[in-house]
Every structure is written in C-alpha cells, then in structure tokens.
C-alpha cells in the first residue's frame, strides 16, 4: 500500500511512528470519512509485534528523557505547540475529514486548544512545586519523579485535542509515550508525530501505533514495562483495560462515559437555559460531558419545551465543512445504528419524540428530544453518544437532586437557576466531577477533570496530571545534617 494518503488535500503518512521512524504493517484497515461515507485510505494495522516494538522504543528512550531538565522539556513542548499553530488549517481539515466535526470549530477553537495543551503543561512544569514543611525539626521536600513509559488510548470524538490532554502532561512529566488513537479517527495522531519530530522531540519519546483495540490493546496494557495507562472511552473497554493492567498493578487514569443532567429551575433565565440545552447537540451529541437529561421544574416545563423546539429548529445539519452548519454527521454507520436502536427501543417503550426520533440518511441522525420516559428506562440510564436528549420534570428541589444522581454515572452536571443559595445547595449534593452553574463547557486546564462512579477513575489537569504521570516522592531530612547535639 502507499505510505501516504490525502485527506482534505493534506498528505498524511499511514504508517506507525515507532522509535523515531515510520514502520508499516503487513495488514491494513480502512479509514472512512463520516461526511459522505467515502474511503479516505488504508491505514497500517498494528499487531502485538508493533505494540511490543513501540513499548520497547519508549523504554529505551525513557532514561535520557527523564534526565532532561525541566527547562529543556518545556522548550520542546512549546516548540511542538509552535508546530501545531503553523499547521492549524491542515490539522483542522484533516480532523473534519476524519471525524466529521465542524471545520469552523476546529479552526477557531479545537486545534488552537491543542497548542494550548502543550503550552499549559510546559509552563505548569516549570512552576510545579510543593512548599517544604517541617516535622519535629525535619524538612519534608516533595518532588515529582518521571514514572516511565505511558500508554495513552484516546477516543474519536475530538481526536487530537483529547490525545494531547494526555500526551502533553505525560511528556512534561518526563515520561515516554505510546499513543494509540481510535481506529475511526487516526490521522491527526500521525501528523502529531511529524510535528513532534520537527520540534526536536527525541526518537522514541513519542510513539504512535494504529489499529484495533481488540488486537493490540492487551499487548499494550498488559506489558510489564508500561508504568502508566490513561484511557478515555467506554465503561466496558475500561473494565477490560483494568483487568489487563491488574497483573502488573499498572496505575490507571480512566475518563469514561456520562449521562449528565441539566437541571432547570423555575427561577432560571429561561432563554439562557434553552441556549444551554440546545448546546448539547454540539458535535452531533458525541460529547461525553453533554447534559443529555433535561430535568425541568414542572411549572416552566411547557414554556421551556416550546422555546427549545423553536431554537432547535433553527439549527442547520449538514456538511461540517460548510460555515453555516451547526450539526455534522455521526462518526460511523455503526454508531448511527447504535443511536437509532436506542431511540427506537425508547419509542417502543412509550417515549414520545418531540423532535427527531429518526435517521436523516446513512450518516446523519436528526436532533432528537424524547419525553414520557421513565427514570429506570434504558434511554435515561445509558449513554447514547448521539444527538438524543430526554426531558423529565420535577416538582421539588429534592426530587431534582434525586433524579440527577439516579444513574451509575457521575461525569458532569449543569444547573440553571437564578438563586445563588439554591445553586450552592444543589451543587453540594450532585454526584459529578464537574458542575456548571448557568454556563456549560467552561474548561480550564488547571482545574481537576474526571468523573465519579462509572464515569472514571482519577483526575486530569494541573498538578493532578503530574501526580498521575509521576512517582510523587517525599524526602525527609534531619536538621543539622543529622548531627546529635545532645
């Protein structure tokens, strides 16, 4: 097969990146664009052999990279960010071609955020410290030691941004990396390897291996030389990774699914609440943080629904390369089938589609809002990961909190209210890693990010990322060099 394919007019190498060089596999898998279902090209399909080679390369490169000064690591991360910024247009069009998200979003926010990820963790590294403290005259000094080769397994809904949420802190921490991108959207990970090499990242510090998780996942996550594993994706896959890592007691960071609520109280600014609600269709509903369950106080539910339907009707669904498009396609025909199956089962069980409830064609699912859904129903309890929302009502604050917390997930929650005291009361009771009050998707890298319950294990962001990717050490020193002055 050819070593390169062209995606959106941009040449992308289809081979793995291992030990500072391109490595091809004998087998391939087909990468398909969700925009029209057309084939983009054939991608090297990794095996356990390539997985072992990638880990070996990361292990070999680790001692020198771990010994590299903080200042030099930070300089290289900034150089990677420079490379990303020079190629924003190329990265944006490749990402849109590969995963179907809006081109305007990639250009204006998502890909610039990739560069920011590297800059943030480069800068945070340089100020990472814990104030020394005394214990009976002894000095305690906390330090962060690089842990070792890290396997990072990333999802398809925001491929490069979510990958670099992990790659940037892992590299900043002094770890070497094996990145396994999702097989439905592998292309920008390959471009990242090129950018990192051009920025001067030493060979073997970043490795990229492509393929199916079912074929190479265990070879990566069970490898005895892997010191950290970070995964973003589904709960069932996370359980398999945890089982695989258990034999070596490899520490895990897991950012998993969500079934997050949007609580709308009668005292809320309804226009704001509706804006927040319609925003949940972002990226065709393929956002783990999305508030897919609307919980609306009974007295305003009818008016909220009316305004929501009016605003949702103004959304434009279509080609994500068009500046006027608001909702693009879903990632893959299999995902579309999964979404539709959820909706059809819900309708058969008695749910009512206020809008949508059907496919538009083989790539696009109509934005959907379902009512008359039971709290214990599948559509309320399970993550759909598509443009499908539900609406339930409540009559008291206590009922709102109970419904909000009544799933196995706990990734995020959004609250619309005009009462500051109520906001404080309710947020204290919500089970969620992130709570937004009268806003949505405000995300700062210095804040902790992660989920509760089945939504994840651990936190990413700021010092929390370094705590995970490092072995945190405390050194205790006796006073006066340990001399006994009796």
Nearest of 301, 228, 225 to residue 262 by alpha carbon: 301
| C-alpha dihedral sign at 290, 177, 83, 46 | negative
Taking each helix axis from N to C end, the angle separating 111-127 and 159-172, rounded to the nearest 10 degrees, works out to 20
Q: What is the DSSP letter of 432?
A: -
Strands 434-437 and 228-232: unpaired
- How many residues comprise the chain? 486
Cα 340 from chain centre: 24
Taking each helix axis from N to C end, the angle separating 187-198 and 88-99, rounded to the nearest 10 degrees, works out to 160
DSSP 321-383: TSTT-SB---S-HHHHHHHHHHHHHHHHTT-EEEE--SBSSSS-B--EEEES--TTSHHHHS-
288 noted as active-site residue: yes
Residues 217/164/467/446 CA torsion (nearest 10 deg): -150
**CA distances from residue 98 to 6, 11, 121, 185 in whole angstroms, order as listed:** 11, 13, 27, 5
Catalytic residue among 50, 255, 297, 460: 255
Taking each helix axis from N to C end, the angle separating 235-246 and 213-221, rounded to the nearest 10 degrees, works out to 40
255 noted as active-site residue: yes
Q: CB–CB of 449/459 below 8 Å?
A: yes
Taking each helix axis from N to C end, the angle separating 70-86 and 187-198, rounded to the nearest 10 degrees, works out to 120
Catalytic residue among 50, 288, 383, 460: 288
Rg (CA), the chain: 24
Q: Is 2 helix (H, G, I), strand (E, B) or coil?
A: coil
Q: CB–CB of 149/175 below 8 Å?
A: yes
- Element at 39 (helix H, strand E): strand 39-44
Strands 150-153 and 177-180: parallel
Write the CB contacts of 378 (distance below 8 Å, at least 6 apart in sequence).
342, 345, 346, 349
| CA atoms within 13 Å, Cβ hemisphere of 391 | 25
- Which active-site residues does the annotation give? 255, 288
């Amino acid at each position: 097969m050819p070593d390169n394919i062209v995606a959106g007019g941009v040449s992308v190498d289809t081979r793995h990146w291992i030990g500072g060089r391109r490595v091809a596999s004998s087998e391939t898998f087909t990468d398909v664009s969700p925009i029209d279902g057309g084939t983009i090209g054939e991608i090297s399909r990794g095996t356990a052999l390539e997985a072992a080679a990638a880990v070996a390369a990361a292990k070999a490169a680790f001692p020198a990279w771990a010994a590299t000064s903080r200042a030099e690591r930070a300089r290289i991360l900034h150089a990677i960010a420079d490379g990303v910024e020079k190629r924003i247009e190329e990265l944006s069009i490749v990402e849109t071609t590969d995963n179907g998200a809006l081109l305007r979003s990639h250009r204006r926010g998502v890909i610039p955020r990739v560069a920011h990820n590297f800059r943030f963790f480069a800068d945070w590294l340089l100020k990472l410290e814990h104030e020394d403290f005394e214990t009976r005259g002894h000095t305690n000094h906390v330090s962060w030691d690089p842990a070792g080769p890290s396997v990072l397994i990333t999802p398809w809904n925001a491929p490069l941004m979510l990958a670099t949420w992990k790659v940037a802190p892992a590299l900043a921490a002094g770890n070497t990396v094996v990145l396994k991108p999702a097989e439905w959207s592998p292309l920008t990970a390959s471009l990242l390897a090129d950018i990192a090499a051009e920025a001067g990242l030493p060979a073997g510090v970043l490795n990229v291996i492509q393929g199916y998780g079912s074929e190479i996942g265990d070879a990566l996550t069970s490898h005895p030389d892997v010191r950290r594993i970070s995964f973003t994706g589904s709960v069932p896959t996370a359980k398999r990774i945890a089982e695989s890592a258990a034999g070596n007691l490899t520490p895990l960071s897991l950012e998993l699914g969500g079934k997050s609520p949007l609580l709308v109280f009668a005292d809320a600014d309804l226009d704001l609440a509706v804006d927040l609600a319609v925003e949940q269709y972002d990226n065709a509903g393929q956002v783990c943080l999305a508030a897919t369950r609307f919980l609306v106080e009974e007295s305003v539910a009818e008016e909220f629904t009316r305004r929501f339907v009016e605003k949702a009707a103004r959304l434009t669904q279509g080609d994500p390369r068009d500046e006027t498009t608001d909702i693009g396609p879903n990632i893959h025909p299999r995902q579309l089938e999964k979404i539709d199956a959820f909706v059809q089962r819900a309708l058969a069980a008695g749910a009512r589609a206020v809008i949508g409830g059907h496919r538009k064609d083989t790539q696009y699912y109509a934005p959907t809002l379902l009512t008359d859904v039971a709290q214990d129903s599948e559509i309320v309890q399970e993550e759909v990961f598509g443009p499908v929302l539900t609406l339930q009502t409540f009559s008291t604050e206590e009922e709102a909190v109970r419904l909000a917390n009544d799933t196995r997930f706990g990734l995020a929650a959004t609250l619309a209210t005009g009462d500051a005291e109520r906001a404080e009361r309710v947020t204290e009771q919500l089970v969620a890693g992130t709570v937004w009050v009268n806003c949505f998707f405000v995300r700062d890298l210095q804040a902790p990010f992660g989920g509760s319950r089945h939504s994840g294990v651990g936190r990413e962001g700021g010092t929390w990322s370094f705590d995970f990717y490092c072995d945190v050490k405390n050194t205790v020193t006796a006073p006066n060099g340990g001399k006994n002055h009796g």
